[in-house]
Amino acid sequence: MDSLHELHLDVGRPSLTKIAEKSKKTDRDLSRSTIAYLMSEPRLPDFDGMQKLVAVLVELPPVSRPMNLDTTLNRFIALWKEAAKAENSPPPSPLVQELTKTGNAYLKVAAAYQRAEKLEANAVSAAMVATEWEYVAERSDELLGEGHLVAAEARKRADSKRADR
């Protein structure tokens, strides 16, 4: 769920260790591996785990704005339910699939591309930057179609960073 990443960002991108430690203090008891799974698994996260993670993140000192636990948790429960319904829906028609390659797809790829450029500009490790460029290539293939120009450029940049190591 992209919203989990936004919430994580809103509270200052605490480490998995810090989140796990906070969860133990609040009797929510999430391990680092469970948190990593909830934040990175492409499938819908476990309902109880998602609620625990949201509660722990909301209880961390917010960087951008104060948060209300009930309001935030209700928003995530609604998002989770919508995503669960979508998982059970039939796949979109070929026309709808083609249409999703425009608009939102380009915005998502642009956001991923910008993240990779920022990592590169901030002199983050070559391995991390290469991984981010590979992610951009994969998202481009997925959202814009196999072999799209953006994917080719991202792969070229990933290969270049791997060569820098």
- The model's pLDDT over 86-95, given as tens digits with 9 standing for 90+, comes to 777 667 667 6
Name the one residue in this structure whose structure tokens are 């591309």.
113
Type and span of the H or E element at 34: helix 32-40
How many angstroms separate the CA atoms of 150 and 64, rounded?
32
User: What are phi and psi for residue 144, nearest 5 degrees?
Assistant: -105, -10
Report CA-CA distances (Å) from 101 to 20, 83, 85, 92: 37, 20, 22, 13
- The model's pLDDT over 47-86, given as tens digits with 9 standing for 90+, comes to 899 999 999 998 887 666 678 888 999 999 998 888 887 7
Task: Give the pLDDT score at 121.
Answer: 83
- Tell me the pLDDT band of 139, cut-offs 50, 70 and 90: confident
- Tell me the pLDDT band of 158, cut-offs 50, 70 and 90: very high
